[in-house]
Structure formats: structure tokens, C-alpha cells
Amino acid sequence: MLTNQEIAEDLIRQFGEDGITNPVEHYGLLNVETTADRIIAVVEYLHRHPRFKFNFLTDMAGIHFPDAKGKELGMIYHLHSWENNVRVMVKVFVPIEAPVLPTMVNVFACANWMEREAYDFFGFQFEGHPNLIRILNVEEMDYFPMRKEYPLEDATRKDKIDELFGR
């Protein structure tokens, strides 16, 4: 029976107190935070671990916290261990001026499209990705929709004029 305490202790033993920070448990799920230069090592360690065997990358989620200066864009890797039936979330935060992360495609092949989606919506630059282009939006789009930056509405729009809404 694998507990979150064991996983957290093992990770801190392997990567140090400054490598794995802020281990918390949300609804029974272990979250740990790490840095962009260690993320591949952490995920690969969890993947190849003889006992933990986190061999399934469930999801890669992106998030934008505009108030956390220097650590605005976050990438959360959801890992799942089939044999032990345990999930863990590994978070990385990068600044919005340089949202660069190493690519996970060499560890998990499914990360290919997940990273393309993260680039499409948040603007993450994954180093080493074979084909980092937009996947769900039109190619000509020049902004990143899921960032919490909301420009004023285009004043030259011809539909949805104020008259139609009684203004």
C-alpha cells in the first residue's frame, strides 16, 4: 500500500529540499512543486522507479496566475501509477516573460499533443519539441487565449453593436 508520505519522502531524499518544495495533499492527491531544470529528472525518476511505477501521464494542465510575479505560468503534470493505483501532481512555475520548459516527449510520447495545446493556449515554449505549432486554434492567431489578459473589445466590430442591446 503506497502512501503519499512515502512518495514525498522518497522524492525529497532523491532531489533535496530545494528540489522538491511545497508537498501538500489536496483531496487525497499529493502535489509537489519543482523547478524547470529538474522537471524531466523528477518525472523520469517517478516513471522508472521500481516500486512506484508512475508510467502514465494522465494530463498536462496549464495555469496563469497574473499576481505571482516571476512565477506566473504554471504547468502541472498529472501522473498515475496503474499497479499501485496512486496519482501524483508535479507542478512547475515559470515567468511569463520566458515561459520555457524542456519537452516531455522523450519520456511520454503522448506529451506531444499536450504540449502543442499548452503552447496554443498559454504560450509555453517547449525546448526539443519536434513540431511546436498551434493545434486547436487557427494558425494566424497571434495571442494566447487562456492567459488572464483581457484586451478591450475591438471597437470596430460591426456586429453586436450597442443599438442591438438597447444602449
Residue 74, H or E segment: strand 73-81
Cβ nearer to another protein, comparing 5 with 137: 137
Cβ-Cβ contacts under 8 Å for 99 (sequence gap 6 or more): 73, 122, 123, 124, 125
What's the min distance (Å) between Cβ of 159 and another protein?
Answer: 6
Is 101 within 8 Å of 46 (Cβ atoms)? no
| Residue 100 within binding range of another protein, rule CB under 8 A | no
Q: Which of residues 34-53 bind another protein (CB under 8 A)?
A: none
Torsion of CA 119, 109, 101, 33, to 10 degrees: 110
| Residue 24 within binding range of another protein, rule CB under 8 A | no
State CA 103 to chain mean position distance: 11
| Residue 109 within binding range of another protein, rule CB under 8 A | no
| Residue 67 within binding range of another protein, rule CB under 8 A | no
| Residue 145 within binding range of another protein, rule CB under 8 A | yes
In angstroms, rounded to a whole number, what is the distance separating the alpha carbons of residues 104 and 130? 11
Q: What mask of x and - would describe binding to another protein in positions 114 to 143, judged by CB under 8 A?
A: ----------------------xxx--x--
Judged by CB under 8 A, the residue of 159, 161, 162, 166 near another protein is 159
Residues that bind another protein (CB under 8 A): 136-138, 141, 145, 159-160
